[in-house]
């Protein structure tokens, strides 16, 4: 079968890629031939069903799977930069690092801070998101607000002095500052006014993730009925499971309407917990995130998450004796997941592509005609062989 985008001509720079198979976001195609032109996918065919132009040798990954490049919905920073810096230099440095990890797009994730600082960061990030994408660089495609409507009992390293009671007026100020780019907010559902805010956020097209929470089962279920869509870094900063009061964790694992994030670094969650999470959520509701902070891609030392210092030693990021994000990347998260669970690559790929896209409602995570040519080539163990961003090999 041959698919070709109408209207493209032969005068532009073209790239042809072949592999053992292709995952397009919904299914698999054996022996694919993918044509890229001007940063877009313009044709997808089976090899042998289409002739290559004279003199053209495709980029071949003979034992690999082609797939959409990864989308991280919970990402704070890398390469010594935090997204709340919200500067062109910070976003460019982050964008240069992520393709080597397989990630093409991410939600720039804030942490709790004084409201005026948060508003300035959101406004500046919105302007950067609105800029045209650059070939070879990963980019933010939305904003995730991790706070300030979080539980004091489960705030982790989030500064307790800047936590706020859920407020529709404050939420609207943040969303308006984001100029349509705030896509996700983490809320503790047990807080007074949380259910009303969740319903309001959903009415404005902002997805709500439940986390940093000591919520009971009943409080969590009210949030689901109000429109919550996901759970933030499942197991972490959550009320522990109890067989008589399963709490937020019990609902996150058993409620089919909820997606559920997980930090798969072997530090935040033990392999057995990863297996339990995947058995509960499956390939259609599980999302692998990094929760990475500015130390990702950097040596041991002191770095910043939002405005507070974090000490990083041998892959563990700590602040005030508490885990403070991670130095994980999505490529490694995928490899860890496959090793911990024994899942197949085809079961795992939605966790870094279509599931985060479906949860946020963003048009990414697919490798189809006219899609931006953001793709990866992976071996059977999920190891990254190559990344292409807007058709440019990184």
Q: What's residue 5's pLDDT?
A: 42
Band of the pLDDT at 54, cuts 50, 70, 90?
confident
| Nearest residue to 184 (alpha-carbon basis) of 230, 126, 115, 123 | 230
Residue 41 pLDDT greater than 50, yes or no: yes
Band of the pLDDT at 4, cuts 50, 70, 90?
very low
Q: What's residue 50's pLDDT?
A: 85
179-201 pLDDT, tens digit per residue, is: 999 999 999 999 999 999 999 99
CA distance between the termini of the chain? 29
Domain boundaries, the chain: 2-67+369-393, 70-360
Q: Considering the domain delimited by 2-67+369-393, tell me its CATH architecture.
A: Roll (2.30)
Domain 70-360 has CATH 3.30.1360.120: no
To the query of whether residue 24 is one of the catalytic residues in this protein, the response is no
97-119 pLDDT, tens digit per residue, is: 999 999 999 999 999 999 999 99
215-240 pLDDT, tens digit per residue, is: 999 999 999 999 999 999 999 999 99
Name the catalytic one among 242, 265, 291, 363.
291
**SS (HEC) of the chain:** CEEECCCCCCCCCEEEEEEEEEECCCCEEECEEEEEECCEEEEEEECCCCCCCCCCCCEEEEEEEEEECEEEEEECEECCEEHHHCCHHHHHHHHHHHHHHCEEEEEEEECCCCHHHHHHHHHHHHHHHCCCCCCCCCEEEEEEEECCCCCCCCCCCCCHHHCCCCCHHHHHHHHHHCCCCEEEEEECCCCCCHHHHHHHHHHCCCEEEECCECCCHHHHHHHHHHCCCEECCCCCCECCCCCCCCHHHHHHHHCCCCEEEEECCCCCCCHHHHHHHHHHHHHHHEEEECCECCCCCCCCEEEEECCEEEEEECCEEEECCEECCECCCHHHHHHHHHHHHCCCHHHHHHHHCHHHHHHHCCCCCCCCCCCECCEEEECCCCCEEEEEECCEEC
- Would you say the CATH fold of 70-360 matches that of 2-67+369-393? no
264-297 pLDDT, tens digit per residue, is: 999 999 999 999 999 999 999 999 999 999 999 9
């Amino acid at each position: 079968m041959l698919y070709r985008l109408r209207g493209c001509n032969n005068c532009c720079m073209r790239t042809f890629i072949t592999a053992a198979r292709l995952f397009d976001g919904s299914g698999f195609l054996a022996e694919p031939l993918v044509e890229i032109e001007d940063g877009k996918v313009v044709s997808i065919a089976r090899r042998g069903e289409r002739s290559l132009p004279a003199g053209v040798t495709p980029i071949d990954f003979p034992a690999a799977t082609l797939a959409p490049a990864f989308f991280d919905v919970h990402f704070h920073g890398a390469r010594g930069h935090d997204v709340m810096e919200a500067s062109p230099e910070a976003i460019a440095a982050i964008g240069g690092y992520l393709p080597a990890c397989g990630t093409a797009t991410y939600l720039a994730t804030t942490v709790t801070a004084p409201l005026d600082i948060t508003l300035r960061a959101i406004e500046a990030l919105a302007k950067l998101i609105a800029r045209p994408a650059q070939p070879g660089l990963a980019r933010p495609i939305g904003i995730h607000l991790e706070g300030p409507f979080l539980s004091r009992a489960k705030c982790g390293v989030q500064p307790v002095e800047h936590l706020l009671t859920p407020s529709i007026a404050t939420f609207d100020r943040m969303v308006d500052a984001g100029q349509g780019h705030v896509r996700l907010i983490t809320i503790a559902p047990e807080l007074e006014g949380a259910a009303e805010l969740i319903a309001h956020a959903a009415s404005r097209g902002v997805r709500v993730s439940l986390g940093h929470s000591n919520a009971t089962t009943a409080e969590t279920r009210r949030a689901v009925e109000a429109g919550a869509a996901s759970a933030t870094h499942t197991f972490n900063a959550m009320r522990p499971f109890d067989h008589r009061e399963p709490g937020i964790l019990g609902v996150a694992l058993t409620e089919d309407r909820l997606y559920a994030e997980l930090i798969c670094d072997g530090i935040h969650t033990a392999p057995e917990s990863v297996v339990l999470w995947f058995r509960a959520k499956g390939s259609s509701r599980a999302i692998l995130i990094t929760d990475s902070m500015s130390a990702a891609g950097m040596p041991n030392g002191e770095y910043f998450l939002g405005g507070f210092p974090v000490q990083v030693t041998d892959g563990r990021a700590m602040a005030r004796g508490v885990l403070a994000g991670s130095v994980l990347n999505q490529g490694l998260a995928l490899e860890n997941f496959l090793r911990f669970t024994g899942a197949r690559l085809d079961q795992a790929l939605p966790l870094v592509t279509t599931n985060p896209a479906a949860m946020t409602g963003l048009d990414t995570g697919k490798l189809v005609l006219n899609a931006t040519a953001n793709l990866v080539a992976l071996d059977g163990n999920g190891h990254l062989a190559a990344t292409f961003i807007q058709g440019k090999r990184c």
